[in-house]
Amino acid sequence: MFVDQASITVHGGDGGNGCVSFRREKFVPHGGPNGGDGGKGGDVVIVADLGASTLLPFRYNTLFRAQRGRHGEGSNKTGRSSDDLVVEVPVGTIVMDEDGVHELADLATQGQRWVAAQGGDGGRGNARFSSSVNRAPTRHEPGRPGEHRRLRLELKLLADVGLIGFPNAGKSTLIARISAARPKIADYPFTTLEPHLGVVDAGGYRSFVIADIPGLIEGAHKGAGLGDRFLRHIERCRLLLHLVDGAFVEREPVQAIRTIETELSAYSPKLAAKPTILVVTKSDAIQDSGAADRLHAWAAEQGRQCFTISAVSGDGISTLVQCVADRVEKMPRNDSPVAGRT
């Protein structure tokens, strides 16, 4: 099961209490106070890990509490500080506040760390309060409580290329053709219910990662279909492939393209501004060649690249893959730095 959203609660460990103790040894008069400080509580640290691919574990385990620090002891012994609690999340996870409004951290690369909840400091023992006017203090401090907060995790897949288009435009068939990804393929809308990633070998030691998301429909940015839930997964993509059903049965192609682009713009202007290549699919099933010619002419007028392919027969696939690899190779990576404290 693919899960891309989760809510968790994190507790930093409480600090250990300071100790009240006095030195008592034979032949050592006036020993004085020797209570040690408490140890620091552990932090809860969220770490990006390539070995994780979904937020599914956080559906069943939502509470993460670090251990408290040990209390101080006599003979000026400081309590042991607790180890940090490390929580591993998939690379590409964004940490939000409880309401999902403010972004706290963007864990976009392997090994990035973010302290989600700080442990409390240990309290001071009575030895700390000894002075010339108070030789036998009984004062000590309790450990400070660890930080407590609720967080929302959102996963955005890390891919170079994203596939967009109406349902049944051929996105899943294409990703299955050019990569090892094996999404479910059928002839009914919304066969794809969750995102899929595939690695495409373009030859010459070149490769890129491609992402397939469920098909978009009009109103997707408002929640129609599955679009609003999965559009976030192509926000990190450097290039988009906009697939148009070459059968031209249900929708006029130019209008279909404009509808999808309107949805992208309504969801995020930044997403709508991403470089896009138009791809007419199912070339082996095209019945209206005039519609295909008009689409290519319109794309040329707009200064946009447009390819015609068949993922079933392989027609045009190699040319498309090489073009995509060339475009991706020239684009800068847009990995986001970690936000907030580290």
How confident is the model over 69-107, as pLDDT tens digits?
Answer: 999 999 999 999 999 999 999 988 999 999 888 999 999
CA-nearest of 244, 211, 216 to 229 is 216
| Phi and psi based region of residue 190 (left: phi greater than 0; alpha: psi -120 to 50; beta: remaining) | left
Among 192, 245, 281, residue whose Cα is nearest residue 183: 192
Domain count, the chain: 2
Question: What does the pLDDT look like over 38-60, one tens digit per residue?
Answer: 999 999 999 999 888 888 889 88
Give the number of other CB atoms < 10 A from CB of residue 59: 13
User: pLDDT of 174-225, one tens digit each?
Assistant: 988 988 877 666 565 555 557 788 889 888 888 898 988 776 766 555 555 5
* Position 275 confidence tier, pLDDT thresholds 50, 70, 90: very high
pLDDT of residue 335: 47
CATH number of the domain encompassing residue 183: 3.40.50.300
Q: List the domain range (segments joined by +) for residue 136.
A: 5-155
Q: Is residue 337 part of a domain?
A: no
**What CATH number has the domain bearing residue 56?**
2.70.210.12
| pLDDT tens, position by position, 117-175 | 999 999 999 999 999 899 889 999 999 999 999 999 998 877 889 888 888 788 888 98
Asked if residue 261 and residue 221 are part of one domain, the reply reads: yes
**227 against 328, higher pLDDT:** 328
For 312-333, what is each residue's pLDDT tens digit?
888 889 999 999 999 998 887 6
Residue 192's pLDDT is 58
Give per-residue burial for 245-272: e unless 16+ CB within 10 Å, then b: bbbbeeeebeebbebbbebbeebeeebb
Domain assignment present for 341: no
